[in-house]
Amino acid sequence: MKFHCQYLELEIFMDIGPSPSFLMERKVHIQISGRQIIKTKLRKSCSCTTKRLKNIVMNFFPVLQWLPKYHCREYIWGDIMSGVVIGIILVPQAIAYSLLAGLKPIYSLYTSFFANIIYFLMGTSRHVSVGIFSLLSLMVGQVVDRELLLGLSAECGKECYVLMGVFRLGFVSIYLSESVLDGFATGASLTILTAQVKYLIGIKIPRSQGHGIFLTTWINIFQNISQANLCDVITSVVCIVVLVAAKELGDRYKHKLKIPLPTELVVIVVATLVSHYGKLNEVYSSSVSGAIPTGFIPPQLPNFNMMHRVALDAVPLAIVGFAFTISLSEMFAKKYAYTVRANQEMFAIGFCNIIPSFFHCFATSAALAKTLVKSSTGCQTQVSSVISAVVVLLVLLFLAPLFYSLQKCVLACIIIVSLRGALRKFRDVPQRYHMNKVDTLVWCVTVFSSALISTEMGLLIGVLFSMLCIVVRTQRPRTALLGQIQSTAFYEDDWEYESLCPVPNAKIFRFEAPLYYANKDFFLKSLYRMTGLDPTLEAAKRKKNEKKQKEGNRGTIVKGLDQADTALHLVPNQVDFQTIIIDCSSVTFLDTAGIITLKEILNDYTELKIAVLLACCNPSVIDSLKRAGYFGKDCKKMHELLFYSIHGAVQFARGRKLLADAPPSHVPMSHNKRVPLSFIIP
């Protein structure tokens, strides 16, 4: 065997002669019953000691662990800078996102304040910014509008939907792939953009409900386009141009800027002054934010009688909120080399929704844009969240009334420009398609279902379609016949690689998926097609030939069979192989149907005097076969049917004279090859 590199060529000779079959000894693991495990956990959980109580409190409030170790001189300035910047960004975004949620701006400010304080106490991520999120605001707004149409008071709607944190279903988020989340965010962004158009042009249309919001809203917009407010249109154009230009300049020169430009705040201040002194509301009937009260509304119990009405709406809210929070937490933890606890993140984001529900807040989660800004402005710990909360508190106590004259079209512009990142995903479709066609299809299905049907249904359809793609890919996986790499003990796909040698009198079959009920038929068809032999048909054919041969020996003339046909059928059937080796390296598990399939294959081929050997099985597959009696009573045939490598199975078959005694052929296999195979030493 030759190894090639740039400077030298090494020739290594390997002995690939027969080697004895052996089975490795398995470790003995103590099996503990489920009842014993439950007893142990209950005993541990119910024990009450000072140390255990301290650990519970410390784990539930991670701030008690890291705050005493806080390096003030090293961290404080970065935390103050990032906290002030995020607070400045939070104020205009909170007021703007109140349009999406169908609530007054004061509720968005409450939500931003309490979420930052609670996550500071309970969160494990150092960089995540928790607060209002456009997607959740949109989903909350749809539910609020639906209940208002049913005749409930707006106050009730505002209180009830903050209970979404109770329904946190963290385990479901593992089924939200990156393609599903990206597609959902992009599709929801189209819905958000559509919902803001009426504010951009200053028309009054009813907010669409149910499925097909995207289409019905655009139909209403075009039907009422003649009622557009010229003042709002001009203001929207100017604000969008300024915001987009500032964002583009900020992205281009972000390495030179120590802090991001507070463009939204500048636009809001200038627009408020122009609207106030120009009396745009009185003169041009431009819609404004209206009175924003100062201080806090007294806490009040939510209306628990509404729980059954919002339970189903809470599930997608909870899933989306937790999925985005944990994905952002893990992403930044990996970037800055620390760890987060997923379970604690679930508790943290849950309490960020439960506790504020008594203070008239609505659903919250982590937000990507603010988290990116937070990390880029020097954030070191969640102390920055406290600083951001203080900034919001100042607005709540003193500055809120100043935003009375702020036009709603300005808030809509801020929302639309903030969707740039999600809408730019359309530019990545060709690259995404080049990387993985299936993921691109999942993304497209999620985008269009989220936009054209509804956000909740879009998420559900995306998850189901993603899981369906996984099932389909395992239902019809890749299969191959393997050939031997010359003078080595390695075997590869003879369709993919050049210069492979066929193993005499043997077929090596690889199945690249778990074997279970959904793909067992495909497994059999692929095996029969690639080996060129269906054992059931071959057995029936041989029995028929034997019967005709017996009748011919007795001189019986078979009706409808001429002499040539008789001669043809009397020729014994010849098969060009005596062993089938199944490469199970990609078979991660077997279910009952898969085990039965392997047993049927073993029995059918054994009747034809063709051996079936299994190679490269993992321990779980071996255990499944043992329990099913595949290796016979007391596993006596295990050493004859199971091998730890393909080459071991080949050598065993040769040693048992199941293969021809001819020397290994060096004639390359005749197929359409695509990739030459060689060993490269870098």
Based on the number of CB atoms within 10 Å of its own CB, is 638 exposed (0-12), middle (13-18) or buried (19 or more)?
middle
Q: Report the percent of the chain where pLDDT is more than 90.
A: 20
Q: What is the dihedral of CA 554, 558, 563, 566, to 10 degrees?
A: -80
The answer to whether 456 and 465 are in contact (CB under 8 A) is no
Q: Is the per-residue pLDDT at 20 higher than 80?
A: no
pTM, two decimals, is 0.73
Domain hosting residue 581, numbered range? 478-544+574-655
Q: Which of 86-100, 211-225, 263-277 has the lowest mean pLDDT?
A: 86-100
- Mention every residue, 6+ apart, whose C-beta is less than 8 A from residue 433: 440
The pLDDT value given to residue 11: 37
Looking at residues 90-104, what average pLDDT do you find? Answer: 79
The pLDDT value given to residue 555: 57
The pLDDT value given to residue 520: 93
25: in domain: no
442, 471, 500 - which closes a domain:
471
Q: Is the per-residue pLDDT at 116 higher than 80?
A: yes
304: in domain: yes
The answer to whether 570 and 552 are in contact (CB under 8 A) is yes
Looking at residues 81-93, what average pLDDT do you find? Answer: 82
10: in domain: no
Looking at residues 541-564, what average pLDDT do you find? Answer: 65
Looking at residues 539-554, what average pLDDT do you find? Answer: 77
Q: Which of 110-114, 338-342, 676-680 has the lowest mean pLDDT?
A: 676-680
489 and 530 in a single domain? The answer is yes
Q: Is the per-residue pLDDT at 417 higher than 50?
A: yes
The pLDDT value given to residue 3: 42
Report the largest interatomic distance among the alpha carbons of the chain, rounded to a whole angstrom.
118
C-alpha of 563 from chain center:
66
446, 471, 496 - which closes a domain:
471
pLDDT per position as a tens digit, 394-404 = 988 888 888 88
The pLDDT value given to residue 258: 66
The pLDDT value given to residue 318: 76
Q: Which of 300-314, 320-334, 352-366, 581-595 has the lowest mean pLDDT?
A: 300-314
The pLDDT value given to residue 415: 79
376 and 525 in a single domain? The answer is no
Count of domains for the chain: 2
Q: Is the per-residue pLDDT at 280 higher than 80?
A: yes
Looking at residues 519-542, what average pLDDT do you find? Answer: 89
| Mean of pLDDT over the chain | 79
462 and 580 in a single domain? The answer is no
Amino acid symbol at 650: V
- 15 pLDDT band, cuts 50/70/90, is very low
464 and 491 in a single domain? The answer is no
492 and 459 in a single domain? The answer is no
Handedness of CA 425, 428, 430, 434 (dihedral sign): negative
The pLDDT value given to residue 144: 72
35: in domain: no
- 149 pLDDT band, cuts 50/70/90, is low
269 and 131 in a single domain? The answer is yes
pLDDT per position as a tens digit, 568-610 = 444 445 677 889 999 999 999 999 999 999 999 999 999 888 8
Looking at residues 90-98, what average pLDDT do you find? Answer: 80
492 and 465 in a single domain? The answer is no
280: in domain: yes
| Cα-based distances in Å from 25 to 28, 275, 563, 619, 627 | 9, 82, 60, 11, 17
Q: Which of 56-60, 521-525, 598-602, 677-681 has the lowest mean pLDDT?
A: 677-681
11: in domain: no
Looking at residues 607-635, what average pLDDT do you find? Answer: 90
The answer to whether 160 and 306 are in contact (CB under 8 A) is yes
- CATH code, domain with 499: 3.30.750.24
179: in domain: yes
**Bridging pattern class, strands 130-131 and 365-366:** antiparallel
Token digits of residue 155: 């106050």
420, 447, 471 - which closes a domain:
471
- Between 481 and 349, residue with greater pLDDT: 481
676: in domain: no
- Candidate ranges 269-273, 539-543, 661-665; pick with highest mean pLDDT: 269-273
463 and 529 in a single domain? The answer is no
Q: Is the per-residue pLDDT at 303 higher than 80?
A: no
Q: Report the percent of the chain where pLDDT is more than 70.
A: 82
The pLDDT value given to residue 234: 93
611 and 645 in a single domain? The answer is yes
Q: Which of 95-109, 151-165, 502-516 has the lowest mean pLDDT?
A: 151-165
Q: Is the per-residue pLDDT at 185 higher than 90?
A: no
439 and 527 in a single domain? The answer is no
519 and 583 in a single domain? The answer is yes
Looking at residues 366-373, what average pLDDT do you find? Answer: 79
- Mention every residue, 6+ apart, whose C-beta is less than 8 A from residue 643: 21, 613, 614, 615, 616, 649, 652
Pick from 609, 465, 580: nearest CA to 511: 580
375 and 482 in a single domain? The answer is no
